[in-house]
Amino acid sequence: MAATAPITIKQDPLSTYKNERPLPFCPGCGHALILNHLDKALTRLQIPPTQTVIVTDIGCVGLSDQYFATNAFHGLHGRSIAYATGIKVANPDLHVIVLMGDGGAGIGGAHLINAARRNIGITVLVFNNFNFGMTGGEHSVTTPHGAITATTRHGNPEYPLDICATVGENGAGFVFRGTSFDRDLPERIAEAIQYEGFALLDIWELCTAYFAPNNNFGRKEMLGLVETMGLDTGLLYYRNVQEYAHYMRQLSKSAKGATPLPLKPIDPEFPNQVQKKFHLVLAGSAGAKVRSAGKLVGYAGVMSGLWATQRDDYPTTVKSGHSISEIILSPDEVRYTGVRKPDALVLISQDGLKKSGRYLASMTEEDVLFTIPEFEHVETRARKVILDPKQAGIRITRTNLALLLTAAALRELNLFPMDAMEAAVRRFQGRFADQNLPVIAASAHLLPELPE
Amino acid sequence: MSKEYIDGATAIARGALAAGCDFFAGYPITPATPILLHMVNELPKVGGVGIEAEDEIGAISMCIGAAMAGARPMTATSGPGISLYSENIGLAIMGEVPLVIVNVMRMGPATGGATTPAQGDIQFVRWGTSGGYPIIALAPSSVAECYTLTMRAFDLAERFRVPVFLLVDKEMNYAMATVDIEDYVDVSVGQRPMVPQHLPEPAVVDGIRVNVVSGRPDPRLRPEETYLPYDFDPIDAPPPTSPFGGPHITRFTTSSHDEHGFLTKDAEKVGRLNEHLRAKILHHRHEMAFGLPDLQESAETLFISFGTTARAMREAIDRARAVGRSVSGLTLHTLWPVPERMILDAVSAHRRIVVAELNHGQYIREIERLVYRHAAQHRRIPPDILGLDRADGELITPEQFLSMI
């Protein structure tokens, strides 16, 4: 088979961006008019079809992408703007054009508003024919008050959404209202496509299957509706904005090169006295740095050659209620992270006490309860060590008590040297190290009679 | 031996970055938020973008759009968010979108317990969208596995052009654990099948356009086409694709489509498409069957578990064996498609199978289906299959396992 002379796929300039397939819409439907306007706009701009993505929503307009010889994305109802956002952020050089109906503007209202707010550089054409054409002429968010539709037989009791004001007042850079009959629509669409930020054209048109016959609604009535509703047409908002996709890419360019989430390897530097799994529970109040005190114990344990885990429990509000940290220190790998019976419980506050019932009940004479004088009389078989924060010689705050008591407990338990705690603070607490090192030092004063 | 003291969320984010993830969109939800925070803050450092979207539907939609523009996306949420992802999971299956979805499970139903671990979404992720088509789901049971299986999730998502779930729970995502650095195992991450990124040369032979994939004239091609975006051959092979913005025109659709990506109701084409979506996963299920069998010949009891619950299982096994008792365990890393051979091989000589999960018994249905069918086919008496369930917000304990031996 002899090859004929190669010919290119499309000769520039392109005379149309549509393919050869005839449009499928009902006679008189505004969709065909708008798509021809869009074709003219694209032809004027001569953007390569490979750099153009037509994203369609659902409804009759959702069929539209199939009649263009460009990239196409046909997605779910109401989500076209969100797909377009992802496409644009992934490749900000693309021209992303969303074709959606008034139905899509309703179900996808959250995406509409937020795309406007972000000024993502996509172009949205709303094919606004005041009802759901594909499913049988039900009312939509733009159906005029009093209009007859399949779901408003007695006249629409709701008032229509002003799409242009909604996106315009929320930051959209380019907002236009017009009709499918506007002769200058190709120019306006071309301007919108060339505009950097979020551009929306609310294009009113006739649904000849449902809305037009049900409401004696023709071209003249549609133009009259603009007036009776007191709305303006033409370019309604135009501002210079920062386009979101390019901004995000710029942000990435300036951050590029830094190591993301670098490994923080820990090598054993300190000895330990832990022969078998040791279960330590810290019970205090949320927002009082209980978890961070626990984390320091874990880091110090690992720096002492142990395997550590920490499991936290706290309510969904992070600064009120209880905060429980269950820490396991072990010479071998720890798999199950739960603690049934603590070997030591550090009871820090009333919030902690409320959640400590099962720990206190399970503890035996071999276990130790570390707590403040306030809870001296809690019932438990565990040996009690009462730690009086007043002896610390530092100002006690809501956020240092947990570390103070935990450090004192560790001194008494002697699982690993306190040097390990101090080293953990220096290595892992960054700017808080200066605050926490004196707390660890002060914890020595809570145990005036150290064993031996 | 160097160690690290970290949580699962960090390991998942690191695994994603190591796998070449360059796009993330998510919406804050406990207990998945730490992954969102990591990705939004870290992705720019590798030239990627992380977005906090307006809602979960926006988040997964952005990921899908980005994927088709060539990105390698991930999103993370919890059960309530998966509910909102549902329709778009179907779209990702239909359009053949590579996408990693982390589901940090929390106790349901509904908002349930936001800070409470659970494994209640096992069947939900498998059947969570209309139509019933297969997805892939992996479940790490240690922090190091969070890293490795996230990489594997990207590999499978890309190679099979399908949403892949990484199933973890609040416990795995948040609990601090000590990791031996050597246990962070890197796996190779493939790429979705790609159309050659140049135009066919020559473009036309004897008046017939040349398909850039086959390099031969292809009478099916339309004037604007250089390849067919949904041309699968054989039926279980994901079709080669080209990103928006590349040299080729690409069509994507959520509707039943032909090889061009045009809507169709042609029964033959629709039937073939739907068979393709099924076959591309199920014909390859043995390539994605991962797990850790730990079998003892003398054992009568086999524990089967996954995720956080498998950690308690492994501790129970160690404790039992330390006192001279025999017991086997199977930690499943792949939940969907069901790793049938691995399960049947592990089950073979045992008299009692205990399936442990933090729900009211979901995965046990798969074990029963497999084991009973296999026994019937081979005219054997099946082993007893028992469930060890829990749905009160607490973890299944090693003691509960030990009581089942």
- DSSP three-state, residue B33: helix
- For the stretch B38-56, pLDDT in tens is 999 999 999 999 999 999 9
- pLDDT for residue B136: 98
Percent of chain B with pLDDT over 70: 100
Name the closest residue on chain B to residue A261, using Cα atoms: B14
Residue predicted with more confidence, A431 or B206: B206
Nearest of B246, B125, B240, B259 to residue B193 by alpha carbon = B240
Do residues B204 and B210 lie in contact, with contact meaning Cβ atoms separated by under 8 Å? yes
Q: Which of A19, A75, A257 sits opposite B91 (nearest CB)?
A: A75
- For the stretch B288-308, pLDDT in tens is 999 999 999 999 999 999 999
Contacts of A80 (CB under 8 A, 6+ apart): A55, A56, A57, A73, A98, A99, A100, A104, A108
Between CA B41 and CA B39 the distance in angstroms is: 5
- pLDDT for residue B276: 98
Residue A309 touches chain B, beta carbons under 8 Å: yes
User: In whole numbers, what is the pLDDT of chain A averaged over residues?
Assistant: 95
Which alpha helices (DSSP H) does A234-391 contain, by range?
244-255, 290-303, 350-354, 357-362
What are the residue ranges of CATH 3.40.920.10 in chain A?
278-446
Distance, in angstroms, between A260 CA and closest chain B CA?
Answer: 5
For the stretch A410-419, what's the b/e string if a residue is b when 16 or more beta carbons lie within 10 angstroms of its beta carbon? Answer: bbbbebbbbe
Bridge partner residues of B51 (DSSP)? B25
Please judge whether A91 and B63 are an interchain contact, meaning their C-beta atoms are less than 8 angstroms apart. no
Between CA B9 and CA B176 the distance in angstroms is: 10
- For the stretch B306-364, pLDDT in tens is 999 999 999 999 999 999 999 999 999 999 999 999 999 999 989 999 999 999 999 99
CATH architecture entry for A30-251: 3-Layer(aba) Sandwich (3.40)
Q: In this model, does residue B66 exceed pLDDT 60?
A: yes
Tokens of residue A378, six digits = 């809690």
Contacts of A213 (CB under 8 A, 6+ apart): none
Compute the residue count for chain A. 452
- pLDDT for residue A403: 97
Q: How confident is the model at residue A2 (pLDDT cuts 50, 70, 90)?
A: very low
Residue B219 touches chain A, beta carbons under 8 Å: no
Pairing of strands B204-205, B208-209: antiparallel
For the question of whether the overall pTM of this predicted structure is more than 0.90, the answer is yes
Residue B133 touches chain A, beta carbons under 8 Å: no
- pLDDT for residue B272: 98
Residue A134 touches chain B, beta carbons under 8 Å: no
Distance, in angstroms, between A119 CA and closest chain B CA?
Answer: 14
Q: Which of A2, A86, A313 sits opposite B61 (nearest CB)?
A: A86
Phi and psi angles of residue A114, each rounded to the nearest 5 degrees, phi first:
-75, -30
Residue B236 touches chain A, beta carbons under 8 Å: no
Tell the CATH topology of A278-446: Pyruvate-ferredoxin Oxidoreductase; domain 3 (3.40.920)
Set of chain B residues whose Cβ sits within 8 Å of the Cβ of A7: 203-204
Between CA B99 and CA B91 the distance in angstroms is: 11
- pLDDT for residue A315: 87
Do residues B78 and B32 lie in contact, with contact meaning Cβ atoms separated by under 8 Å? yes
- pLDDT for residue A6: 45
Residue A242 touches chain B, beta carbons under 8 Å: no
- DSSP three-state, residue B322: helix
Residue A160 touches chain B, beta carbons under 8 Å: no
Distance, in angstroms, between A335 CA and closest chain B CA?
Answer: 5
- pLDDT for residue A233: 97
Set of chain A residues whose Cβ sits within 8 Å of the Cβ of B397: 336, 338, 340
Tokens of residue B258, six digits = 């032909």
Strand residue runs (E) in A42-194: 52-56, 71-74, 95-101, 123-128, 131-132, 138-139, 174-179
Phi and psi angles of residue B3, each rounded to the nearest 5 degrees, phi first:
-125, 170
Between CA A292 and CA A429 the distance in angstroms is: 9
- pLDDT for residue A319: 85
Residue B246 touches chain A, beta carbons under 8 Å: yes
- For the stretch B252-264, pLDDT in tens is 999 999 999 999 9
Task: Sketch out chain B's domains with CATH numbers.
Answer: 3-183 (3.40.50.970), 292-402 (3.40.50.920)
Neighbours of B43 (CB within 10 A): 26
Q: In this model, does residue B18 exceed pLDDT 90?
A: yes
Set of chain B residues whose Cβ sits within 8 Å of the Cβ of A249: 49
- pLDDT for residue A432: 87
Q: In this model, does residue A9 exceed pLDDT 60?
A: no
Do residues B358 and B117 lie in contact, with contact meaning Cβ atoms separated by under 8 Å? yes
For the stretch A294-306, what's the b/e string if a residue is b when 16 or more beta carbons lie within 10 angstroms of its beta carbon? Answer: bbbbbbbbbbbbb
Tell me, what amino acid is at A221? Answer: E
Q: Which of B205, B243, B314 sits opposite A335 (nearest CB)?
A: B314
Q: How confident is the model at residue A4 (pLDDT cuts 50, 70, 90)?
A: very low
Q: In this model, does residue A8 exceed pLDDT 80?
A: no
Set of chain A residues whose Cβ sits within 8 Å of the Cβ of B255: 74
Distance, in angstroms, between B373 CA and closest chain A CA?
Answer: 34
Q: Which residue has the tokens 């289906």?
A: B369
Between CA A371 and CA A378 the distance in angstroms is: 10
Please judge whether A83 and B64 are an interchain contact, meaning their C-beta atoms are less than 8 angstroms apart. yes
Q: What is the mean pLDDT of residues B136-154?
A: 98
Q: How confident is the model at residue A316 (pLDDT cuts 50, 70, 90)?
A: confident
Residue B176 touches chain A, beta carbons under 8 Å: yes
Please judge whether B54 and A110 are an interchain contact, meaning their C-beta atoms are less than 8 angstroms apart. yes
Distance, in angstroms, between A19 CA and closest chain B CA?
Answer: 8
Whether the ω angle into residue A13 lies within 30 degrees of 0, i.e. cis, is yes
- For the stretch A108-146, pLDDT in tens is 999 999 999 999 999 999 999 999 999 999 999 999 999
Q: What is the ipTM of this complex?
A: 0.98
Please judge whether B69 and A49 are an interchain contact, meaning their C-beta atoms are less than 8 angstroms apart. no
Please judge whether B45 and A73 are an interchain contact, meaning their C-beta atoms are less than 8 angstroms apart. no
- pLDDT for residue B115: 87
- pLDDT for residue A3: 43
